[in-house]
Structure 1
Amino acid sequence: MQKEKEMKLAVQFGAGNIGRGFIGALLSRSGYRVLFVDISDSIIPELQKRGEYTVEIVGETRREETITPVSGCYPGDQLLLDAIAEAEIVTTAVGPAVLEHIAPPIAAGLKHRMQKGVSGALNIIACENMINASSRLKELVEGSLDKDVKSFIKEHVGFPDSAVDRIVPPMEKSGDILRVRVEEFSEWIVDRRGFAGSIPEIEGMQLTDTLTAFVERKLFTLNTGHAIAAYLGSLYGHRTIDQSIRDEQVRQVVRGAMEESGEVLVRRYGFDRDIHRGYIEKILRRFENPWLKDDVQRVGRQPLRKLGFDDRLIKPLRGTIEYGFPNQNLLIGIAAALYFRNEDDPQAERLRELLEISDIREVIPRVTSLKDADVLTAIENAYEDRGVEDLVRNYVRQWIRIVSMKEARDNFAQLVDEAMAGREIIVASRGKPVVRLTPVTPPTKRESSLP
């Protein structure tokens, strides 16, 4: 116990899989005792009782690691105020939408730190799938504080932005609620310019002066590929990401999309093209990891956020448009996202409702905030083509041809000829059959020369 009291203290907001399996584990390995902060009535008492948990690390091999000493508390506990007053580092892994909820207890803890006269530097790092998450957290924290506390923060508290990369899927149910499984690969890149005082030595933390390039590399590659693998996998009936990426049709589009977005990164930030292609292949192998049974329904959730203007699908698409690069695979991924359905995800349900009550031409700009007419048309066409492909895969017979509304408009005379020759022509919109084209007088024979 005495030895624990002599250890440096780190406060980790979020005791979920990423908090325990990634950031909390790195802090523990670096000599910190870690206090997890969460609202979970199952995890926090267990952390308090046991003071340790197991991380299962899987790659080509599998190994286990015990993380200790750890404890837990709730956001409203006095213990948290005292911990923030004492801590050398505070980290978060709660999700971008939750930052506004943890800002008040952090603000209260910083005020308590000031009142206790603690002059040592404290650094607060938000480890979220969000660009400039720490800077955003700082805005939220300072929003309710008076001038004196803001001055204290300016002098003693840093909010360095960071980029994190590690796949931490949900564990199958077991008797150990704290046990967590992670992939062997991990990356935590932090902007050195945002630190207050001396930069703490933390295992696995890489420092950079060009964080934006690495944030976009992850967003445009891992996040883009992961999302498209989930959305196409869902359409193709796959349950997990590893199953999806082993489907050559899915793999081809995922790789193609990451290569398209990669060309943007090469042009914008000067990444070496060959090295970046190696990075893409490494990500594909990570997706294939048989130990990481990551459900496509989990990875695909919150499609409205992921179709946002600055998120993993639309932002790289905008880059390809800016530089005049190909983007067909990105368009396919965006179309697949529009077809994503998950009754347990409010955003997926909201997207489904929007598509049921509004025309696709209205939904795309509303969801993506895109305004360029040519880009919107390209997404609409990809959406229609995506629906046709699904119908073809599920229902097509030798003498049925299914076409999109656009294809019907562009090739109407040819389709009439085919219908007169005996082929059943079905026109689809939004992935649903809407019109059947048949001759008034039944054909007398079938033409074997039909394509």
Structure 2
Amino acid sequence: MNQSVQFGAGNIGRGFIGHLLWESNYRIVFVEAYSDLVKLLNSRSSYPLRLLEKNGQEKNVTINNLVAYQTEEKNNISKAIAASSIIFTAVGVKNLPAIAPLVADGIQLRLKKNPIPMNILLCENLKDAPQFFKNEVNNHLNTEGKQFLQEKVGFVGTVVARMVPVMDKRFGVDDPLFIVAEAYHKLPYDATAVKGVFPEISGLKPVQNFSSEVDKKLFIHNLGHATLAYFGYLKGYEYIHQAIADEEIKNLLDDVLNETSTSILRKYPDLDRVEVNEFVEDLKERFLNPLLMDTVYRVGRDPIRKLGEDDRIIGGIALCQSQKMFPAAIIKVAGVALNYDYDKDADALKLLNMIKEEGIEKVIQKLCGLDPENAIGEGIIRSYHQFRERFRK
């Protein structure tokens, strides 16, 4: 039986990758920092997963054939890496350096015991995650290990688009291992980064032009999600499916997705226009799914990061500009996002204080990397004030 190591047993690890591996009859080795979660997984050797379809149907499955190791169990982790067909990470970018020594130890053992190519799939929210993690792992290898890494270890980017909401009592199940996820089943990966023979795993989709998949995720999915979250919050909605059902918000979303999808098709002329349009329409259907009960607060969290010049909103503006498309709708979204002041989000409160202390013009310049006096900067500032006057009187 094939085996895979999954670093991270959180929402994506259990709610997406674990599901795909279970469907493919893999033995799953979870590596997790939280000891209580490790103990629970090992005591039951399974966990419940509820999949939510776009049509409103639910499917409950039990993911089994698994073992979990706490990150301190270095020998067990090394042995698992040496014997596995494929490795996944879903730990969060800031935690990648912490697991790099564990992966390096596993590579050193694999070199001795099972020196065949292996691939590490990075399910992380960072464009350059594969190269970043490769560098981190390389720092912990000896000369022989470094050579093996260069020749036989693939660090492979992925685009994670399955939505997994934060668990709480609203789903009616009192079980710390219970997890809910939408049934979206595709995990695109960078086929050009693969080393050796790639194993057959349910849902994994090889992509040659991986940059186009990254842009679709960031500037269609993530930017669309942000539009619903920030505008939905200002209008008093709690859930994403409520926000998209609002005609005004839906119209802005349509305009945003038209701007970004048109720009992406111009940037990547080899893409199939029908497929991109189907991707957009399918995404809007997924956002409408009331069973997900995905909150605007979860989707909108960390607004400072999401307003950064390389992230979804300002990056979407830059994408449109590069393709001679004026981003009128995204400019509105930037103004909405700058009004996000949810009092339980520390980042939102920090943003609010930055604007109070420095002024919106300075924040546009420092945070977004924009000139507050050009057409884009002036448009965002105008949008910010319009939404502030309307919703924060």
**TM > 0.5 between the two?**
yes
TM-score normalised over the length of structure 1: 0.82
Question: Which residue of the other structure, out of 155, 165, 173, is the alignment partner of 2:151?
Answer: 155
Q: Confirm or deny that 1:247 pairs with 2:243.
A: no
Per-residue deviation at 1:276? 2.6
Per-residue deviation at 1:156? 2.4
Name the residue aligned to 2:36. Answer: 42
**What is the CA deviation profile of residues 319-351 of structure 1, one whole-angstrom value per residue up to 9, with x for unaligned ones?**
212233131211111111111123333322321
**What is the CA deviation profile of residues 239-295 of structure 1, one whole-angstrom value per residue up to 9, with x for unaligned ones?**
111111111111111121111111110100123444433322221111110100011
Matched AA of 2:380: I
Name the residue aligned to 1:329. Answer: 329
Matched AA of 2:249: V
Question: Which residue of the other structure, out of 87, 92, 107, is the alignment partner of 2:89?
Answer: 92
Distance 1:62 1:139 in 2: 42
Per-residue deviation at 1:99? 1.9
Q: 8 Å contact 1:53–1:68 — kept in the other structure? A: yes
More off after superposition, 204-213 vs 333-342 = 333-342
Pick closer, same or farther for the CA change 1:272–1:156 going to 2, 3 Å.
Answer: closer
Mapping 1:325-364, distance limit 5 Å: 325-364=325-364
Per-residue deviation at 1:229? 0.5
Task: Give the RMSD, CA atoms, in angstroms.
Answer: 1.7
Distance 2:275 2:373 in 1: 35
Matched AA of 2:11: N
Structure 1 SS opposite 2:6: strand
Q: Confirm or deny that 1:69 pairs with 2:69.
A: no
Pick closer, same or farther for the CA change 1:327–1:179 going to 2, 3 Å.
Answer: same
* Bigger RCO (CA 8 Å, 6+ sep): 2
Unmatched segments (≥5 aa) in structure 1: 1-6, 396-451
Structure 1 SS opposite 2:164: coil
Q: 8 Å contact 2:100–2:140 — kept in the other structure? A: no
Distance 1:106 1:323 in 2: 41
Q: Which structure's CA Rg is the greater one?
A: 1
Distance 1:46 1:54 in 2: 12
Mapping 1:303-318, distance limit 5 Å: 303-318=303-318
- Say how many residue pairs are matched: 385
Mapping 1:18-417, distance limit 5 Å: 18-59=12-53, 60=55, 61-77=57-73, 78-114=75-111, 116-173=112-169, 174-270=173-269, 271-371=271-371, 373-374=373-374, 375-391=376-392
Per-residue deviation at 1:82? 1.6
Matched AA of 1:159: F
Matched AA of 1:8: N
**What is the CA deviation profile of residues 78-131 of structure 1, one whole-angstrom value per residue up to 9, with x for unaligned ones?**
3112211221211011222322222222223223333x3321221101012222
TM-score normalised over the length of structure 2: 0.93
